[in-house]
Amino acid sequence: MKKIYFFGALALLFAACKPSVNITVPPTSGNADFTNYLAIGNSLTAGYSDGCLTVSGQLNSYPKRLFDQFNQIPPKAFGAVGGGAQMPFIQPLLNGDNGFDTSVSHRKLVLQFVHNYCTPNDSSLSAVPVYPYIADPKDMIRYNWTYNTYNNGQINNIGVPGIRVADYPVANYGNPINPFFNIFAYRFYHTLTERPIDELYFRMHNFEPTFFTMWLGSNDVLGYALAGGQGNGVGTAIPVLGNFYNPADITPYSVFTAWYDSALVAALSTGAKGALINIPDIASLPYFTTIPSNGLVITRQTQADSLNRYWRSTLNLVFQLGANQFIIKDNLGNIRQSVPGELILLSTPQDSLACAGWGVTKPIPQQYVLTTDELQNIRANTYNFNQFIYTEALLHHLAYVDMNAYLQTVATGVTFNGITYNANFISGGSFSLDGVHPTQRGYAIIANKIISTINDYYSSTVALIDVNQFHGVLFP
């Protein structure tokens, strides 16, 4: 009998000794209604990563991340407004995971050891297009309603890589008869002849989303930056065909504001609530910050002397031991030494920098350089565009996500559950191998910023995402 007491008591104690902590609370939608969510945007919205659009990129886009969090909100009672996602989230998914089309520029970038051109015994880990590459033929077929029988072709992510605000009035935007047609729009736009603004109205009126996010405007600046500032950059660009503006220039302010406003009017035309996301600081992307402008490293005085002799006849340049600014050609055609703060693009051929004397005895061509003036154009126009987006958000009572400020914080480092992310190329973890678009983790970080802004604005309690459960940069 006493044994039973004793062991009974002991068993009870052991049984009582498994702790549990559950502090999850059901998320709520606050004043917003996430029943049916539509994402409007460009490549960042589509899920572009590692230089291309792939099905895994789409499945890890920030709109998908947002939907998954909205989806955790319990639905409200029948007839009540609000609640979580009750409609499915449909993206125009690709089949292939190596890149969207057969052109090298749309192939997925992977890390690989590449032999250096001038020192072939050395190799370095570099981002190169995947090889061999096998295109999935289905990816070249229009994603039409035969693929998607749900709700007559509903699509919840209409992010189109490359699209600008300036493209919203362009007819035949996805139509191959148009020399500037967008192949991503071609894949899923409702009709080929329509303008992006028509596609947006179609999505709003036929599927009546209750909540939208709009992240437009980056390409209105980025094209100019990626081209090394080859347009005039001061906002006086003129159309190159019809109403299609030079994609390598900055969109004129009046065009930007007119069509941003039109797109927003379309997005608001069915009474949906939403969030506007502003344009990131282009110059802090790893595409522009990885190659230092003072990458001309001189280790021997004789090298410095001979370089000084070499340039004495044309320019009065002083080279010294240590780090020196590269020689560049600026947008006026002047050959000069770069100044601190000017940026060398990641597209600069590494072989030419390493062995062909680029930046040393030959100037780095202007399409690979953002000069102080060009950076000023980028910053000033980004600032003006963002000011406009901000006033639109105020005017229309929408959440305003200051991604510009946030990504500058990320660039210097944000720590999340033990990992510090920053904007360093490859090692930073947040940006993919193209140096412009985020990794899966980077997109989750972005989604968290959007969620916390939405929560603040709409008094919702959408749960944040565990960023680290997704992929960062993958190493062979």
Nearest to 444 by CA among 427, 419, 469, 462: 469
User: Rule CB under 8 A: is residue 21 a binding residue for other proteins?
Assistant: yes
User: Rule CB under 8 A: is residue 132 a binding residue for other proteins?
Assistant: no
Stretch that binds other proteins, among 5-13, 60-68, 169-177, 222-230 (CB under 8 A): 5-13
Stretch that binds other proteins, among 2-10, 168-176, 209-217, 228-236 (CB under 8 A): 2-10
81 vs 474, beta carbon nearer other proteins: 474
User: Which helix (H) or strand (E) element contains residue 110?
Assistant: strand 109-115
User: Rule CB under 8 A: is residue 412 a binding residue for other proteins?
Assistant: no
Q: Which of 2, 80, 316, 340 binds other proteins (CB under 8 A)?
A: 2
Distance CA 33, CA 212 (A): 10
Distance CA 65, CA 5 (A): 54
Q: How many residues bind other proteins, per CB under 8 A?
A: 41
Distance CA 333, CA 421 (A): 38
Strand (E) positions, 118-267?
123-129, 211-215, 239-241, 244-245
User: Which helix (H) or strand (E) element contains residue 296?
Assistant: strand 296-298
Q: What are the C-alpha distances in Å from 15 to residues 4, 5, 19, 23, 67?
A: 16, 15, 10, 22, 40
Q: Which of 51, 96, 429, 438 binds other proteins (CB under 8 A)?
A: 429
User: Rule CB under 8 A: is residue 13 a binding residue for other proteins?
Assistant: yes
31 vs 72, beta carbon nearer other proteins: 72
Please return the burial class of 126, using the count of CB atoms within 10 Å of its CB with bins 0-12, 13-18 and 19+: middle
Strand-pairing partners, residue 297, are 323
For the bound state, the minimum distance from the C-beta of residue 1 to other proteins, rounded and expressed in Å, comes to 9
Please return the burial class of 394, using the count of CB atoms within 10 Å of its CB with bins 0-12, 13-18 and 19+: exposed
Distance CA 359, CA 325 (A): 8
User: Rule CB under 8 A: is residue 23 a binding residue for other proteins?
Assistant: yes
Distance CA 215, CA 208 (A): 19
Q: Restricting to residues 320-379, which ones interact with other proteins according to CB under 8 A?
A: none
User: Rule CB under 8 A: is residue 466 a binding residue for other proteins?
Assistant: yes
Alpha-carbon torsion (294, 473, 156, 396), positive or negative: negative
5 vs 78, beta carbon nearer other proteins: 5
User: Rule CB under 8 A: is residue 14 a binding residue for other proteins?
Assistant: yes
Stretch that binds other proteins, among 58-66, 98-106, 269-277, 464-472 (CB under 8 A): 464-472
Distance CA 428, CA 416 (A): 13
Stretch that binds other proteins, among 208-216, 229-237, 241-249, 412-420 (CB under 8 A): 412-420
For the bound state, the minimum distance from the C-beta of residue 156 to other proteins, rounded and expressed in Å, comes to 23
For the bound state, the minimum distance from the C-beta of residue 306 to other proteins, rounded and expressed in Å, comes to 31
298 vs 414, beta carbon nearer other proteins: 414
Q: Which of 67, 168, 184, 416 binds other proteins (CB under 8 A)?
A: 416
Count of CB atoms within 10 A of residue 208's CB? 14
110 to 129: interface string for other proteins, x by CB under 8 A: -x-x-----------x----
Scanning 73-195, the segments in alpha helix (DSSP H) are: 183-188
User: Rule CB under 8 A: is residue 316 a binding residue for other proteins?
Assistant: no
β-pairing, 343-344 vs 369-370, is antiparallel
User: Rule CB under 8 A: is residue 474 a binding residue for other proteins?
Assistant: yes
User: Rule CB under 8 A: is residue 6 a binding residue for other proteins?
Assistant: yes
326, two tokens: 């590269």
Distance CA 242, CA 177 (A): 14
For the bound state, the minimum distance from the C-beta of residue 470 to other proteins, rounded and expressed in Å, comes to 8
Stretch that binds other proteins, among 98-106, 312-320, 376-384, 462-470 (CB under 8 A): 462-470
Q: Which residues form the interface with other proteins (CB under 8 A)?
A: 2, 5-6, 9-10, 12-14, 16-25, 111, 113, 125, 414-419, 427, 429, 463-466, 468-469, 471-476
